[in-house]
Chain A
Amino acid sequence: MLINAKELDYSALNQKIREADGDCNISECLGQRFIGAGMSDKHIEISGIPGNAMGAYLNGAEITVNGNAQDAVGDTMNNGKIVIHGSVGDAVGYAMRGGKIYVKNNAGYRAGIHMKEYKEKKPVMVIGGRTGSFLGEYQAGGLIIILGMNKGQTPTVGNFPCTGMHGGKVFLRGDVNGITLPKQVSVRAATNEDIMEIKPYINEFCRLFGFEQEKIMSEKFTVIFPDSKNPYKQMYVQN
């Protein structure tokens, strides 16, 4: 179903999407928030710029944005897929516990913080460019893959990545030179096994955005992982 978002506010637009029988194609989107919140069964394609919290609590639906998206994309997402043919704002994938987010270009601050996994439910986020500061804070599970393409001289991630990380993995294409990591994480060059783990997602990333897989995989990857599942264990004394 075609929906022209012009002059619709977010609740009216979302109501239309909810009521639509099948997939939705939204044109002239202009900052409407919460698109697809909690939805489980549609494919939503957006032209224009969707507003904050797009795909919040997403529960299996798929969202494609033909351009940039704003803050809080995929907040507490449970399942489904979000594909952004551009850049995203801050806090993408906050506390996401399942599903996949692919961003062609860059992500803002606090990408992937509080990401979690449980058994077979493992969220994955692939960012083609670089991310701002505070990447993966309190990460408790899942995979964050930062490819650092077209980043120029800037480091792949901003300041203070992985603070409080206690689960999951962050993959950086390239090394961690110039990036200051907190005490509670370790770093290793990606092993074969690590590479096998991310390959399907790199593959999908390339398919979605038309990159060459060999070219991306030709560079080395670095893995950041937590030392402990209990980063604050030693801090307390019973009183």
Chain B
Amino acid sequence: MGISYIYPEFEVVRNTARCIGCRVCEKQCANGVHLFDPELGCMTADDAKCVDCQRCVALCPTRALKIIKNDCTFRENANWQADTIKEIYKQAESGGVLLSSMGNPKPLPVYWDKILINASQVTNPPIDPLREPMETRVFLGKKPSTIERKADGSLKTELAPQLELSMPVMFSAMSYGSISYNAHESLARAAKELGIYYNTGEGGLHEDFYCYGENTVVQIASGRFGVHEEYLSTGAAIEIKMGQGAKPGIGGHLPGTKIVGDVSRTRMIPEGSDAISPAPHHDIYSIEDLRQLVFSLKEATNYKKPIIVKVAAVHNIAAIASGIARSGADIIAIDGFRGGTGAAPTRIRDSVGIPIELALAAVDQRLRDEGIRNNVSLIAGGSIRSASDIVKAIALGADACYIATSALIALGCHLCRTCQTGKCNWGIATQRPELVKRLNPDIGSERLVNLLTAWRHEIMELMGGMGINSIEALRGNRLMLRGINLTEKELEILGISHAGE
């Protein structure tokens, strides 16, 4: 109270004519907003605790609730906006580093929305995906650059290990601990059904999910939580996490309060102990060191698994990717600065890194220029929101896309951006059993399958419109893209022409 008092951001509006006092909202809100007042015989609400997750709104049987943005504001000021003022109050009060979650909410440019896709007219016919076969399958991994023959003249056909995807989408890393058991189960089951992959994140692999190994990418980060031989050999691929788009240059830190029960067992650290994965791998200070980690993993798994190296999109990403492509890695995953996270320092999330669109185009071009594009496949991530984002990413040079936030939204996430509190009312970013059980993995996996089945159809329709019947023919096909409202420089980096050109 006093100088640091922050007026509630949201207002809970209850239509008393509709409210039947069933107390569902009270049971549903883990933030303890709603309370039944026995004296008054009606529901009350403490708006200050509300995070606008819309859970109570969605479950109120009589649609008596709505959450609105509070109109009590500071005096308007384009420079000192309300959030900026509140952040200063919070820090002046606590001396703490601001901690946020989910992706960057700032109005920074979304290049996907400034890129338009081509379609065929008259001179080259579009293809009807309902009638003609369309190939959305992709293989990720190192490809041969030349045709080689054996002594007897026959073709050498042994390839480096590949990941086969039915469509160019994978679920990106979200650790068990940052999201719930049921969220992981939903992702794993959906990946299996769809013929794609999900990613363990850096928290190890729960024993119940080893059975989804063929559709699992196992991650190893600097803290090496839950990493052992069986973990490595179970996954279809191994991802080395060097960085993450939401917090480039910052490591992972799951507070001890979230290291409970199975999470502790899966990470293989005691309950209540912080799980600290610092930003650097303290054994990697160069591409040569990275190469050592890549090959130690290949040796440990007998060269059977492709190795992914995941990095955040940062200023020198093209040069960095060129180094990684020479490190022996099979796949590079680039994570743009709008990517989500369970918790990140606000300042880092909002102002470090670059957009995936620019990073991807720069990397693809650089690897082509250097003649090493076939050394690696590229996965682009960091806020891929729809089938058209995917088509644009592939035309800019990606082999596949990572999605995470869109997958969580399919599971019920309402983007309240308070995952770091561990009280997710939708059962996703929480370990509280009573909240976790709100997410039914049967329904969750079905919703993910629905989403990606729909996206696959849309991808085929967009490809058909361009007269392209295979993802392979779309990859890096920047002629299919035009920019709108972009500067010369932006167009140059994206390697595309302006609309109308």
Contact = CB atoms under 8 A, between A and B. Distances in A.
Interface stretch (B65-73, B294-302, B392-400): B294-302
- Residue from A140, A237, A239 whose CB has the most chain B CB atoms within 10 Å: A239
Interface residues of A, number: 51
Nearest to A34: B299
A76 interface: yes
Interface string B75-106: 00000000000010011011011111000000
A56 interface: yes
- Residue from A10, A33, A235, A237 whose CB has the most chain B CB atoms within 10 Å: A237
Contacts of B296: 33-34, 37, 53, 56-57, 72, 75
Interface string A95-121: 101000000000000100110111101
B99 A238 contact: yes
Nearest to B223: A114
Given A164-B276, A233-B256, A94 B299 contact: no
Interface stretch (A172-180, A185-193, A214-222, A224-232): A224-232
Contacts of B421: 238
Given A37-B299, A230-B255, A138 B292 contact: no
Nearest to B87: A239
B96 A72 contact: no
Given A76-B228, A116-B225, A164-B278, 11 more contacts: A10-B299, A34-B299, A57-B297, A118-B268, A138-B223, A230-B256, A233-B255, A233-B256, A235-B96, A236-B96, A236-B97
A72 B283 contact: yes
Contacts of B90: 237, 239
27 contacts: A33-B292, A38-B229, A38-B299, A40-B229, A59-B228, A59-B229, A76-B228, A78-B229, A91-B283, A94-B224, A95-B224, A110-B283, A114-B224, A116-B224, A116-B268, A134-B282, A137-B282, A138-B223, A140-B269, A167-B270, A229-B273, A231-B276, A236-B96, A236-B345, A237-B91, A238-B418, A239-B99
Interface string A71-97: 110011010000000000011001101
B216 interface: no
Given A57-B228, A78-B228, A11 B299 contact: yes
- Majority DSSP secondary structure for residues of A touching B: loop
A43 interface: no
Given A97-B268, A141-B270, A239-B90, A57 B282 contact: no
A40 B253 CA distance: 31
A237 B346 CA distance: 10
B269 A141 contact: yes
A235 B274 contact: no
A90 B285 CA distance: 13
Interface of A: 10-11, 14, 18, 33-34, 37-38, 40, 52-53, 56-57, 59, 71-72, 75-76, 78, 90-91, 94-95, 97, 110, 113-114, 116-119, 121, 134, 137-138, 140-141, 164, 166-167, 229-239
B450 to A, nearest CB: 34
B469 interface: no
A203 to B, nearest CB: 27
B420 interface: yes
B272 interface: yes
Contacts of B256: 229-230, 233
A118 B457 CA distance: 47
Given A38-B301, A76-B224, A138 B278 contact: yes
B282 A110 contact: yes
B227 interface: yes
Interface in B238-256: 253, 255-256
Contact of A57 (B93, B227, B292): B227
Nearest to A40: B229
B276 A140 contact: yes
B222 interface: yes
B178 to A, nearest CB: 15
B481 interface: no
A95 B284 CA distance: 14
B299 A14 contact: yes
Interface string B298-330: 011111000000000000000000000000000
A204 B346 CA distance: 50
Given A38-B300, A53-B296, A56-B300, A229 B224 contact: no
A139 to B, nearest CB: 10
A134 to B, nearest CB: 8
B367 interface: no
Contact of B100 (A18, A91, A234, A239): A239
A138 B253 CA distance: 12
Nearest to A237: B96
Nearest to A15: B302
Contacts of A11: 299, 303
- Residue from B94, B295, B346 whose CB has the most chain A CB atoms within 10 Å: B295
B232 A57 contact: yes
A72 B292 contact: yes
A159 to B, nearest CB: 15
B403 to A, nearest CB: 25
A7 B421 CA distance: 57
Contacts of A134: 282
Contact of B270 (A114, A164, A229): A229
Contacts of B301: 38
A234 B253 CA distance: 13
B283 A75 contact: yes
A95 B227 contact: yes
Nearest to A226: B273
B268 A18 contact: no
Nearest to A78: B228
B96 A234 contact: yes
A94 B228 contact: no
- Residue from B90, B233, B300 whose CB has the most chain A CB atoms within 10 Å: B300
A16 to B, nearest CB: 13
